[in-house]
Amino acid sequence: MSDLSERLREHGLRRTPQRELILAAVDRLGHATPDEVLAEVRTRSEAINISTVYRTLETLEELGLVRHAHLSDRAPTYHSVVDHEHFHLVCRNCHRIVSVGPDVLADVLARLRDEHGFVADVGHLTMFGRCVECAEPEEET
């Protein structure tokens, strides 16, 4: 949480209990929508509402402490940047989410940069498909 204090101070913002609770909830949950963050935070403080969660998540993202990705057609899903930079694989069948390091895309990222002058933001990338378990053909009975 010292990173939180440092980033807030750099931007002229105060460290508040709400910011601490929301960042800790994102860290604990791994990948969470604002509603899931609210439910987690409310186990520790009833005083926080959904608009506070949304505003705080936006602030934490501006500070570079969390990222969001669209892992479904629902609200964005937030995750901490404390762990490694990653993109997401989402199974359309079982909804399993797998975090994958950007090194898997090294050749694609290099081609995008070299051929199109484009630097991709891998942290927002989500690929949809089917996991191996769901892609296997079902046995006939």
Average pLDDT score over residue span 73-101: 83
- 9-49 confidence digits (pLDDT tens): 888 888 888 999 999 999 899 888 999 999 999 988 778 99
Residues 87-135, CATH architecture: 2-Layer Sandwich (3.30)
CB 57 within 8 A of CB 34: yes
- The tokens describing 66, both together, are 């969390």
Enter the DSSP assignment of 73.
S
Q: How far is CA 116 from CA 27, 84, 102, in A?
A: 35, 26, 19
CATH code matching the domain that covers 2-80, chosen among 1.10.10.10, 1.20.120.430, 2.130.10.10, 3.80.30.20: 1.10.10.10
Helix, strand, coil % (nearest 5) of the chain?
45, 15, 35
Q: Residue 59 has what pLDDT?
A: 94
Taking CB atoms within 8 Å and a gap of at least 24, the contacts of 113-119 are: none
